[in-house]
């Protein structure tokens, strides 16, 4: 039967351009239909002009709302087909050929600001994961792309034409959202590891010295006074309050290693707050240093803040100092 002749049920007979088979269509599709099936439609080689025309018309139809995507408004939660597809594709790795094809198609494509914001959110979520580290190649690529985007003006620096905040203020805001709290299991593991490491005396001394250097701002105003007093009167005491010398696990303020004498200068308020009273502090500290053969001289707040503090402190140190005739007491 030749083309255009009406067949059964009022349909028109046409010839397929791909397989040359006869097929029937309704009269309204007489001028538009060219293929008998979707397989023939996809198998036929099409020119670039036809593809561009088709793509252009599709985009316009999507904008106008004539064509609605099948997955619009659908998610894994409300659509079972998408959920199954995602479960199948999880862990699926693309081949190098497909990656190259995707790269060629996306090369030179201008990304909108909405797309950039989505990419930034995804990267932030990835960086938030524990143990996620970018490879050196990805870091180099990322730095290059950032430089290009900054030069083109697509990305604006957050501190452009603004004063940079202070580090302390920045860290306060940063710690509100980015601070990491260790779990109880992690704390137990960390404590066990540290206890084993602290058994080594070399490691223990290094840790204690580093902690003292970092936490203590030394010398204090009281220590400066005593150090000046020792220098003026040629007293054989060396300042060690900066963590340079330890007696056991503790750090004295001044030491005479030949006579095995230690001087402790302190503020009453802090010792009363921790130990309950100055007497308890002096007793515990003196007994601890005495285990290692060191006697201790204690100087309190009322003694060093007195008008005649030089005479009081000198008399106290001279009483505790071994003059060759009689030893001094356990602690003063």
**pLDDT band per the 50, 70, 90 thresholds, residue 154:** confident
Same domain, 254 and 276: yes
- For the whole model, what pTM was predicted? 0.37
Torsions phi, psi for 87 (to 5 deg): -65, -35
Same domain, 225 and 307: yes
Q: What span, in angstroms and rounded, lies between the C-alpha atoms of 227 and 240?
A: 10
Evaluate if residue 330 carries a pLDDT over 60. no
Residue 136, in any domain of the structure = no
Same domain, 247 and 304: yes
Which pLDDT value is given to residue 283?
92
Which pLDDT value is given to residue 281?
92
Same domain, 250 and 198: no
Evaluate if residue 214 carries a pLDDT over 50. yes
Residue 27, in any domain of the structure = yes
Residue 160, in any domain of the structure = no
Q: Domain range for residue 202?
A: 182-215
**pLDDT band per the 50, 70, 90 thresholds, residue 26:** confident
Same domain, 208 and 236: no
Residue 189, in any domain of the structure = yes
**Domain final residue, candidates 23, 48, 64:** 64
Same domain, 234 and 301: yes
Number of domains comprising the chain: 3
Same domain, 312 and 261: yes
Task: Look up the CATH number of the domain holding residue 234.
Answer: 3.40.960.10
Same domain, 211 and 227: no
Residue 260, in any domain of the structure = yes
Which pLDDT value is given to residue 2?
44
DSSP code per residue over 211-271: HHHHH---S-HHHHHHHHHHHHTT---EE-TTTT--BTTB--SEEETTTTEEEEE--HHHH
**Domain final residue, candidates 174, 198, 215:** 215
Who has greater pLDDT, 51 or 152? 152
Same domain, 200 and 227: no
Percent of the residues in the chain that have a pLDDT greater than 90, as a whole number: 12
At 176-197, the pLDDT tens digits run 665 566 788 888 888 898 888 8
**pLDDT band per the 50, 70, 90 thresholds, residue 117:** confident
Residue 114, in any domain of the structure = no
**Domain final residue, candidates 162, 192, 215:** 215
Residue 32, in any domain of the structure = yes
Residue 208, in any domain of the structure = yes
At 262-272, the pLDDT tens digits run 999 998 888 88
Which pLDDT value is given to residue 12?
85
Same domain, 279 and 197: no
When mean pLDDT is compared over 92-106, 136-150, 155-169, 305-319, the highest value belongs to 305-319
Q: What span, in angstroms and rounded, lies between the C-alpha atoms of 163 and 66?
A: 50
Evaluate if residue 212 carries a pLDDT over 80. no
Computed over every residue of the chain, the mean pLDDT equals: 79
Give the start-end residues of each E strand in the chain. Answer: 12-15, 22-25, 238-239, 254-256, 261-265, 295-299
Same domain, 312 and 262: yes
Who has greater pLDDT, 251 or 121? 251
Read off the pLDDT of each residue in 312-324 and give the average, rounded to a whole number: 74
Same domain, 197 and 284: no
């Amino acid at each position: 039967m030749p083309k255009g002749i009406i067949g059964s049920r009022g349909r028109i007979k046409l010839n397929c351009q791909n397989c040359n088979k006869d097929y029937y269509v309704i009269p309204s599709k007489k001028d538009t239909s060219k293929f008998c099936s979707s397989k023939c439609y996809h198998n036929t080689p099409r020119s670039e002009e036809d593809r561009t025309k088709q793509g252009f018309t599709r985009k316009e139809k999507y904008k106008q709302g004539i064509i609605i995507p099948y997955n619009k408004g659908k998610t894994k939660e409300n659509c079972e087909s998408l959920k199954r597809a995602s479960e199948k594709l999880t862990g699926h790795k693309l081949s190098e050929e497909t990656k190259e094809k995707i790269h060629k198609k996306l090369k030179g494509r201008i990304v909108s600001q909405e797309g950039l914001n989505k990419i930034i959110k995804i990267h932030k979520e990835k960086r938030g994961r524990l143990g996620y580290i970018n490879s050196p190649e990805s870091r180099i690529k990322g730095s290059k792309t950032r430089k290009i985007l900054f030069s083109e003006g697509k990305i604006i620096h957050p501190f452009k034409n603004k004063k940079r905040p202070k580090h302390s203020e920045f860290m306060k805001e940063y710690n509100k959202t980015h601070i990491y709290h260790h779990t109880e299991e992690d704390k137990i593991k960390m404590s066990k590891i540290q206890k084993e490491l602290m058994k080594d005396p070399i490691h223990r001394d290094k840790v204690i010295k580093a902690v003292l250097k970092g936490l203590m701002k030394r010398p204090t105003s009281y220590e400066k006074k005593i150090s000046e007093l020792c220098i003026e009167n040629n007293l054989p005491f060396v300042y060690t309050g900066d963590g340079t010398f330890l007696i056991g696990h503790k750090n004295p303020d001044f030491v005479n290693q030949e006579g095995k004498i230690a001087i402790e200068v302190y503020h009453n308020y802090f010792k009363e707050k921790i130990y309950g009273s100055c007497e308890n502090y002096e007793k515990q500290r003196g007994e601890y240093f005495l285990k290692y053969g060191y006697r201790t001289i204690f100087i309190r707040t009322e003694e060093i803040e007195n008008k005649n503090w030089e005479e009081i402190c000198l008399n106290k140190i001279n009483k505790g100092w071994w003059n060759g005739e009689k030893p001094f007491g356990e602690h003063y």
